[in-house]
Amino acid sequence: MVLDFSFYVPANIKFGRGKAALIGSEVAKYGKKVFIVTGKSTAKTGLLERVLGQLENEKVGYVVFDKVTQNPLTTTVEEGASLLRECGCDSILSMGGGSPLDAAKGISLLAKNGNTIDDYIFKRVQGDFQSYPIVAVPTTCGTGSESNGTAVLTNPKTQDKKGLAYSCLIAKSSIVDPELMETMPREVVGPVTFDALCHAMESYLSPQANPFTEPYSTDAMLYLAKYMVRANDDIHDHEAVDGVTLASTMVGAAFFVSGLIAPHGMEHPLSGLRNIKHGRGLAALTPTIYEHSISGSPQRYAFVSRVLGGKDENDCGKAIRQLLSRIDMEVYLSDEGFTEDDVPWLTENCWKLSKARLDLNPKPLGKDEVRQIYSEVM
């Protein structure tokens, strides 16, 4: 075997119940005035007020930017970057689900380096880019954004949803406290935990997986197989919620290097067009895409299948569907408001923005097959 690969050691991760008590002191290590990027949920759950109290104790000034929504927008990133510069903040605290964590990375990149956000998304600029120091605090266990330099943003004009990835955007410090996950409603737990499972499966199946990424991917898959249903049934089941949270954070570091494959490539047009939950789009697509892809890597699909209770590669799709039924996540695109009339736009958008993921799939998918899959899962 020829060993030749890259791996980014993830952020300084502090993991465990009660670690949210350290947010203020951690932020104080990086600056005097912090720009807090969040959505509305952290005010509702009381986390924001608690953290503001910690910052006041540490004598750290702050500006709260709480405009981030599900499937974060490029326009929100532009607004946040302007405000950060106006306020003279010297560091960033991102708190919430994957959306605020991703938006904070876009804000940091734009505010620190200039250009437009599309310049970074479409790689029109090159350089040694810099970031503000970021402290990331996830309150959902799906994106793994706290352990990588990836952000996925949607342009509201074109409905293009696409990621950017820079190692400078890896958080300086991530505080991962499974207690914070307990405020997730059940309709959020299913999509985010399935997103984490998809990251684990896709990063393992990716031809760019390497000896550093594989243990993160396979361990995350095993944790999720063991604990996902329990965490969905009872968000106060500590052992299960700790397990799925750990898995989500671990695999964030893996897929930053290995990349993600066709299910993520085909999902982004769905949540770009209809603002659906990313995990529900993945649930609609993943089993069928895998059934179209088995011949590209039968041994790896067999491993995934066995982890999820199947026998071999041929029942991989079935094993995933059975898992989805146990967490009330059997999804068809028509449930999410799509019709057959959307298939041409979805196919073209996927081809325009996600061709690299289709090519990276164990069996590369062509345009006709992409169109066929969208129709099959309608």
Binding site for Fe ion (CB under 5 A): 195
CB nearer to Fe ion: give 195 or 369: 195
Question: For tokens 């007020």, what's the residue?
Answer: 49
CB of 267 to Fe ion, least distance (A): 7
CB of 245 to Fe ion, least distance (A): 15
Q: Is 198 helix (H, G, I), strand (E, B) or coil?
A: helix
| Both structure tokens of 11 | 């952020």
CB nearer to Fe ion: give 26 or 195: 195
CB of 213 to Fe ion, least distance (A): 16
CB nearer to Fe ion: give 111 or 136: 136
Q: Any residues with CB less than 8 A from the CB of 134 and at least 6 apart, and which?
A: 91, 92, 93, 94, 104, 105, 108, 169, 171, 172
CB of 256 to Fe ion, least distance (A): 12
| Both structure tokens of 201 | 């499966």
- One-character DSSP codes across 281-326: HHHHHHHHHHHHHGGG-HHHHHHHHHHTT-SSGGGHHHHHHHHHHH
Please state the φ and ψ torsions of residue 140, each to the nearest 5 degrees: -130, 165
User: Do the beta carbons of residue 173 and residue 15 sit within 8 Å?
Assistant: no
User: Do the beta carbons of residue 335 and residue 249 sit within 8 Å?
Assistant: no
CB nearer to Fe ion: give 160 or 195: 195
CB of 141 to Fe ion, least distance (A): 12
CB of 265 to Fe ion, least distance (A): 11
User: Which residue is at the shortest CB distance from Fe ion?
Assistant: 195
**Alpha carbons within 13 A on the beta-carbon side of 210:** 16
CB nearer to Fe ion: give 19 or 277: 277
Q: Is 135 helix (H, G, I), strand (E, B) or coil?
A: strand
CB of 98 to Fe ion, least distance (A): 8
CB nearer to Fe ion: give 177 or 195: 195
CB of 140 to Fe ion, least distance (A): 12
CB nearer to Fe ion: give 67 or 161: 161
* Nearest-10 Cα torsion for 109, 114, 119, 124: -110
CA dist., res. 343 & res. 146, Å (int): 33
CA dist., res. 285 & res. 262, Å (int): 9
Question: For tokens 């990331």, what's the residue?
Answer: 136
CA dist., res. 150 & res. 11, Å (int): 13
CA dist., res. 117 & res. 111, Å (int): 10
User: Do the beta carbons of residue 170 and residue 144 sit within 8 Å?
Assistant: no
CB nearer to Fe ion: give 163 or 207: 163
CB of 260 to Fe ion, least distance (A): 7
CB nearer to Fe ion: give 71 or 293: 71
